[in-house]
Amino acid sequence: MIEEFPECALCSFPPDGRLCRTSGGGGPPSCPTRDRELVSEVMEVYADPDLAEFARQASIQEAEGYEGRGPGNSAPRPSKPRILEIAEFAERMKFSRLGLVFCVGLMREAEKVCSFLSGRGFQVVSVVCKAGRVPKEELGILDSEKIQPGSPEAMCNPLLQAAACNRAETEFNIVMGLCVGHDSIFLRHSKAYCTVLAAKDRPTGHNPLAAVYTLDSYYRYMKEN
C-alpha cells in the first residue's frame, strides 16, 4: 500500500505560490511536482513522436481557445465551444475519419454533431450504445433491475461500440453521453485516442458540474449519507 499519494485538490499553498506554478513555490511532501524522478520518467514517454505531436497540438489548441492573448493580458477571453475545439484539433492532427459513440438518448444531438463534422470534411463513423440489441439478461440483469421492468431491454454495449470503431479504423473517437461505467469500458477498449464531448448527467441536461456548483445548496442531500 502506498503511504503517500498526491492530493492536489486539497493543496494548502496559495495558487500563485504553488510549486506547480512557480519554481520558488511550495508544495506538501506528497506534491507530484516535487517527485522529479516521476517527472523525468514521464517526460521520456513524450519522446514517442506520435504522442509528442498529439501533446503539442493539444497544447496549441488549448491556447487558441482564448482570444486577446498577449503580454500584459492576464485575462484572455475563452472563445470556442468544445465541439469546435474538437473539430479544430482533429484538423490540426490531420485526422480524416472520426468515431462518434453516443447514448441512444442523444440521437438527435448525434445527428447534429455528425452533420457538423461531415460539413467540415470528416468521415464520421457513428455507433449508438444499443447497437447489437443484446438483451440485458445476457449480463445477468434481472427484470427488476431494468429501467422498465416487464419489457425487453437491450444492454448498452460499449465493447461493441469500440470494436466497430476499431474495425472502421477511426483515428479519433468522440464520446457523447455514455453512462458512467459504459464510458469506462469504451475508453479502455478504443484503439484510437478519445475525447469526451458530453458526459451523461440526466437531470442537469448533461452538465455534471451544475450539481457540483450547487452541492452546498440544492444538491446538499447527496452529502447526507
Residues that bind ligand SF4 (CB under 6 A): 8, 11, 13, 18-20, 27-28, 31-33
Shortest spacing between CB 3 and ligand SF4, in angstroms = 16
Shortest spacing between CB 6 and ligand SF4, in angstroms = 6
Q: Quick one: 11 or 159, whose CB is closer to ligand SF4?
A: 11
Identify which of 45, 50, 44 has the alpha carbon closest to the alpha carbon of residue 172. Answer: 50
Beta bridge partners of 66: 78
Distance CA 153, CA 121 (A): 36
End-to-end Cα spacing for the chain? 27
Shortest spacing between CB 40 and ligand SF4, in angstroms = 16
Identify which of 125, 96, 78, 109 has the alpha carbon closest to the alpha carbon of residue 176. Answer: 109
Q: Quick one: 15 or 208, whose CB is closer to ligand SF4?
A: 15
β-strands 66-67, 97-102 pairing: unpaired
DSSP-based three-state secondary structure for 140: coil
Q: Quick one: 8 or 209, whose CB is closer to ligand SF4?
A: 8
Residues in the chain: 225
Q: Quick one: 39 or 180, whose CB is closer to ligand SF4?
A: 39
Q: Quick one: 19 or 83, whose CB is closer to ligand SF4?
A: 19
Distance CA 196, CA 112 (A): 16
> Running DSSP on this structure, what letter comes out for residue 18?
B
Shortest spacing between CB 24 and ligand SF4, in angstroms = 12
Shortest spacing between CB 147 and ligand SF4, in angstroms = 40
Shortest spacing between CB 43 and ligand SF4, in angstroms = 16
Q: Quick one: 7 or 111, whose CB is closer to ligand SF4?
A: 7
Distance CA 217, CA 31 (A): 32
